[in-house]
Structure 1
Amino acid sequence: MRGLSRKALAEVEERFNAVAATADLGSLAEQLFAVADLLDREHGLRRNLSDPARPAEQKADVVRALLAGKVGDTALEVTVAAVRARWSGAGDLPDTLERVGVMAAAAEAESAGRIDDVEDELFRFGRILAANPELRRALSDPAIPSERKRDLLAALLDGKAAPSTLRLVTQLVVHPRGRSLETSLEEYGWIVARIRERLVGVVRSAVPLGEEQKQRLAAWLRVTYGREVHLNVEVDPKVLGGFSVKIGDDYIDTTIAGRIEDVRRRLAG
């Protein structure tokens, strides 16, 4: 993506990360895919919603009127963030919604402890296609109805692969968006790998952290762990002051409540 679209993509991903934690991630993935597919089909709508000359709030109102009651609140919020952003090209809008749909499916697998499986299964499915030209032709043939392709994929993968893998492979087969299956598998695999390599930190603070504070904390954690760390911030007045960060089994506590508890333990000892 070029200039404006790179910035817009970062904004949409940031909004997705902020709101996705409490969502049904599988449903969120399906809904974001559905919106991307809608914008692929409706060229006029896609042009209007990605037009940088149109007021952002006007485009947001169009999306709310169009999608309210048809997708969940989280999918709607992510889509509104996408149409409010400024894009270099109209096609970058559905591309980004598809991308965050893949992120949702990857996060679904991560929460189930199966993200390594999904990454491996996407790679192995690509090898299966390379070794079976007839299967590849059947899944790529636009004359074959989508339901037949879904049934074929279910027979191949249901119960044999992670649900997120079946979800992703079904999306790229039924809605190839002008790409080859091999290209789509590589793109999806790259996004899943990116999520797999990301650490998630849960921050508890007495007050909401400002954007600059979050960026400084994320930068420090990135240097400390040598990997990107996505922060989920929880406001909890009981911490009194300061903040705590939990990353996996690691716990960093700078809260006043934590210091008081430490003093109590020492006195008790």
Structure 2
Amino acid sequence: MFASSLRSRLPSQIRTFAKKAAPKKAAAPKAAAAASGSDLAHQPELKLFGIHARYATATYVAASKAGSLDKVETELLAIESTTKSNPTFSNFLNDPTVAPAEKEAQINSIFGDKMSDITVNLMSALAGNARLSETDKVVSAYSELMKAKRGEVAAVITSAAPLSAAVADQVTAALKSKVGDAKVVLSMEVDSSIMGGLQVQIGDEFVDLSVASRIDAVSRTINGPQLSEL
């Protein structure tokens, strides 16, 4: 009963949600308005915020000017992969007892002749400013800038069990119909803890249509103050 009801609501709810999540080009900041046309041509199409975003944006601009956007992305993703698969390297990045200058020297030794100057300069800057622990966030931000450049929006569909082809196609169509010209990069995940239904993450937007969330809502209602006051 719930499953059929959920399927009937999926298209409209996900389309509305996806429309809000579709990527939008950032308005040029006031400071950039005075910049040369050449500089503006290398600015990312997405405005991100935070320290990690500043590093990612500066790296994007440098890579764009050098015609190395894709190369730098590949290198950064390789570094991210290494941090996840190599505990020794990850511990080195996050070790607060190692002086920034020593980390910077080690970074130059590790990557100096293996990666582009732009990637090495980024990692050296993170090391010198004691921000190597932010590496994964910087890589993620750079990836977001690249997705915006390619007109992509990432979507993650989480279900309690693998979706049938029919339901997967229905959800995919609902997403694609509302993100305009953006290309939906879809990935499917299975999490039995949600018990049923779906969770959908697209861009920064999240919608929870899971059975677990409904049970939680019912539990909060039952245990709410309105009943205890009776």
TM-score by length of 1: 0.38
TM-score by length of 2: 0.43
Greater share of helix residues, 1 or 2?
1
Q: Which has the higher contact order (CA 8 A, sep 6+)?
A: 2
